[in-house]
Chain A
């Protein structure tokens, strides 16, 4: 027997626990610090900043909800807000129908593993990996009214009257951008849907086929309900993406949502308000922060509602 007492042994075990806790702290503190400094601190400050007056980079007096009143109720400003909001809603709905609808069809077809389906997956996904800036510029060139690829093709097909200045007309500018966005992103929901379909046990589909169900019935009655979780995720991601839409309109038609604010978005408006723009106003951090808080609250609330509703549907269908 050694001379150590029972208490000594307890202490030795406690020292081991302490060493383990230090090790955990070593693992956790750096990432937590980075997250705190560069995410939580600025997010918190955004709320704080929205209730102050700002003069450039200098914080002024506490003004309560004045900034919010200004952006929401002063007609000079609120008309921009509501116009942009309307455009974001249009973007969301159109993207849901055009892009995600097409993605669903493509995924259902690819799930049957037709010849060359690996090739199709790669091709459909190719634009997804490219920078929005590249895509935006590329299509800006293609949509050029005089020499752009699109109008050239239309003229070559004898549809001269269709060769419009697509990005220059208020009626066609936003739809054009939405189509460009669909072209850019369609591969993403396609492959997410496809992965979800692949996770459905083959037995279900085979059982339905033995029951004599047509491919259409199988798609509608078996595959669609069982891929519900993927649908939830895509709807929420599309919503968040649509209300953060910035790069495509910025690159293709500039910060002012030309022509005539027909492609103005909340993201552009926020940027203009916060950092100023050539034509409009000076930089206003107060109003900008108020806008940011409003946009965040809106996106957060609606995402939560979507998630709730769609998860309830998942459970019902499962």
Chain B
């Protein structure tokens, strides 16, 4: 239960600016995911919040209280690490109770809390085992249990699922979301996997090179990315990008000529964001292509790979302008490698980015 504010937080290691300045607010009971490519500063941001690193400048508040001078344990938060960081020489019970024992909590209370957390996580029968004797998923649950036992205001997760296999990952994703509903605590979750971000978050914070690119609800980010980076990062398979040049502009639209000479009229509210002659990028999500023909613009190319998944089909085209293009089609689509195809798209449902990569809206 906590309301977190990070105000112009900065972090330098020596001369390296890891976080040049980030501000964000996290509401009580929110599930927030920090996502971004490796090295984007998402883990550093989490560690600053946890108190494992000292701020270079800025402020962090939890429930209106400055905490950036407090040691990690006094900030009322718990953290689940990528490697789980279970103490190898302690049993599950000892691992889960360690924080409470350090804090000299009465024995009976420690026992009760460990029992409760173990029950929630179905670990009761493993309490006397050492971490070595547990499976990956069980270790992960112990790590979460260790956090739960402390009744923290904030849960921090640092890429907690990246060491699990695909199937377990899906399962743990659901378990963590369930846990969030049950505990009603603020949770901050760091991952480089945008699928985790999309499926778990109330709010996603996309980071790149230490900067916050965009914050918002998952589908808002998906449907209305602020810039090319977010557009490309969120969504799988990733958005297709086509280079083009603005050839004409009026009050409500920009006309763009793609490198294969295809003309696209892109309706927008602020066409003034780009001028005639500007190099822009058109973004089309794979599922926004269709084969209906008509007078909508088309990307033409040769199919070089087809993935048939039964319910859906992915086509990989080499467009005539040389762009590798992914097309998503519902159902089984009759097409073979080597076929020449044309796929249409509706310009209004796509995105155009100005030379600086900002979305033209």
B-facing residues in A1-25 (Cβ within 8 Å): 1-2, 4, 6, 8-9, 12-13, 16-17
Residue contact B66 to A13, C-beta cutoff 8 Å:
no
Does chain A have a CB within 8 A of B59?
yes
Instruction: A209 to B54: give the CA distance in the assembly, Å.
Output: 57
Residue contact A9 to B68, C-beta cutoff 8 Å:
yes
Q: In the complex, how many residues of chain A place their beta carbon closer than 8 angstroms to a beta carbon of chain B?
A: 10
A111 → chain B, closest Cβ, in Å? 31
Instruction: A6 to B55: give the CA distance in the assembly, Å.
Output: 12
| Contact status of A4 and B71, CB under 8 A, knowing A13-B54, A13-B55, A16-B54 | no
Instruction: A8 to B69: give the CA distance in the assembly, Å.
Output: 9
Secondary structure type dominating chain A contacts = helix
Residue contact B65 to A16, C-beta cutoff 8 Å:
no
A16 neighbours in B (Cβ, 8 Å): 54, 69, 71
Does chain A have a CB within 8 A of B310?
no
A13 neighbours in B (Cβ, 8 Å): 54-55, 68-69
Does chain A have a CB within 8 A of B64?
yes
Annotate B44-83 by CB proximity to A: 1 below 8 A, 0 otherwise: 0000000000110001000011101101000000000000
A2 neighbours in B (Cβ, 8 Å): 65-66
Instruction: A98 to B6: give the CA distance in the assembly, Å.
Output: 71
B68 neighbours in A (Cβ, 8 Å): 9, 13
Residue contact A9 to B66, C-beta cutoff 8 Å:
yes
B65 neighbours in A (Cβ, 8 Å): 2
Instruction: A13 to B68: give the CA distance in the assembly, Å.
Output: 8
A22 → chain B, closest Cβ, in Å? 15
Instruction: A150 to B59: give the CA distance in the assembly, Å.
Output: 83
B71 neighbours in A (Cβ, 8 Å): 16
Instruction: A2 to B68: give the CA distance in the assembly, Å.
Output: 13
A9 → chain B, closest Cβ, in Å? 5
B60 → chain A, closest Cβ, in Å? 10
Instruction: A13 to B59: give the CA distance in the assembly, Å.
Output: 12
Residue contact B64 to A1, C-beta cutoff 8 Å:
yes
B10 → chain A, closest Cβ, in Å? 13
B268 → chain A, closest Cβ, in Å? 42
| Interface-centre pick from B54, B64, B66, B71 (highest chain A CB count, 10 A) | B66
A12 neighbours in B (Cβ, 8 Å): 69
A249 → chain B, closest Cβ, in Å? 48
Instruction: A6 to B71: give the CA distance in the assembly, Å.
Output: 17
A235 → chain B, closest Cβ, in Å? 39
* Residue in B closest to A19 when the chains form the complex, CB atoms: B71
A3 → chain B, closest Cβ, in Å? 10
A24 → chain B, closest Cβ, in Å? 16
Residue contact B54 to A9, C-beta cutoff 8 Å:
no
A5 → chain B, closest Cβ, in Å? 10
Instruction: A8 to B68: give the CA distance in the assembly, Å.
Output: 11
Instruction: A142 to B42: give the CA distance in the assembly, Å.
Output: 73
* Residue in A closest to B70 when the chains form the complex, CB atoms: A12
Instruction: A4 to B55: give the CA distance in the assembly, Å.
Output: 17
Instruction: A1 to B59: give the CA distance in the assembly, Å.
Output: 12
A1 neighbours in B (Cβ, 8 Å): 64, 66
Instruction: A69 to B157: give the CA distance in the assembly, Å.
Output: 72
Instruction: A63 to B23: give the CA distance in the assembly, Å.
Output: 73
Instruction: A6 to B8: give the CA distance in the assembly, Å.
Output: 13
A8 neighbours in B (Cβ, 8 Å): 69
* Residue in B closest to A11 when the chains form the complex, CB atoms: B69
Residue contact B64 to A9, C-beta cutoff 8 Å:
no
B48 → chain A, closest Cβ, in Å? 12
A13 → chain B, closest Cβ, in Å? 5
A285 → chain B, closest Cβ, in Å? 50
B65 → chain A, closest Cβ, in Å? 6
B-facing residues in A116-137 (Cβ within 8 Å): none
A108 → chain B, closest Cβ, in Å? 37
Instruction: A6 to B66: give the CA distance in the assembly, Å.
Output: 10
Annotate A195-221 by CB proximity to B: 1 below 8 A, 0 otherwise: 000000000000000000000000000
B13 → chain A, closest Cβ, in Å? 15
Residue contact A4 to B66, C-beta cutoff 8 Å:
yes
A167 → chain B, closest Cβ, in Å? 54
Annotate B81-124 by CB proximity to A: 1 below 8 A, 0 otherwise: 00000000000000000000000000000000000000000000
Instruction: A131 to B65: give the CA distance in the assembly, Å.
Output: 66
| Interface-centre pick from A8, A16, A17 (highest chain B CB count, 10 A) | A16
B140 → chain A, closest Cβ, in Å? 31
* Residue in B closest to A10 when the chains form the complex, CB atoms: B69
* Residue in B closest to A17 when the chains form the complex, CB atoms: B54
Annotate A131-167 by CB proximity to B: 1 below 8 A, 0 otherwise: 0000000000000000000000000000000000000
B59 neighbours in A (Cβ, 8 Å): 6, 9
Instruction: A1 to B68: give the CA distance in the assembly, Å.
Output: 13
A102 → chain B, closest Cβ, in Å? 42
A6 neighbours in B (Cβ, 8 Å): 59
A74 → chain B, closest Cβ, in Å? 59
A98 → chain B, closest Cβ, in Å? 46
Instruction: A6 to B65: give the CA distance in the assembly, Å.
Output: 13
Instruction: A254 to B66: give the CA distance in the assembly, Å.
Output: 76
Instruction: A2 to B69: give the CA distance in the assembly, Å.
Output: 13
A114 → chain B, closest Cβ, in Å? 34
A118 → chain B, closest Cβ, in Å? 26
B55 neighbours in A (Cβ, 8 Å): 13
* Residue in B closest to A12 when the chains form the complex, CB atoms: B69
* Residue in B closest to A4 when the chains form the complex, CB atoms: B66
Additional 4 contacts, C-beta under 8 A, given A4-B66, A12-B69: A6-B59, A8-B69, A13-B54, A17-B54
Which residues from chain B sit less than 8 Å from chain A, CB to CB? Answer: 54-55, 59, 64-66, 68-69, 71
A selection of 20 A-B contacts at a CB cut-off of 8 Å is: A1-B64, A1-B66, A2-B65, A2-B66, A4-B66, A6-B59, A8-B69, A9-B59, A9-B66, A9-B68, A9-B69, A12-B69, A13-B54, A13-B55, A13-B68, A13-B69, A16-B54, A16-B69, A16-B71, A17-B54
What 3 pairs between A and B have smallest CB-CB spacing? A12-B69, A9-B69, A13-B69
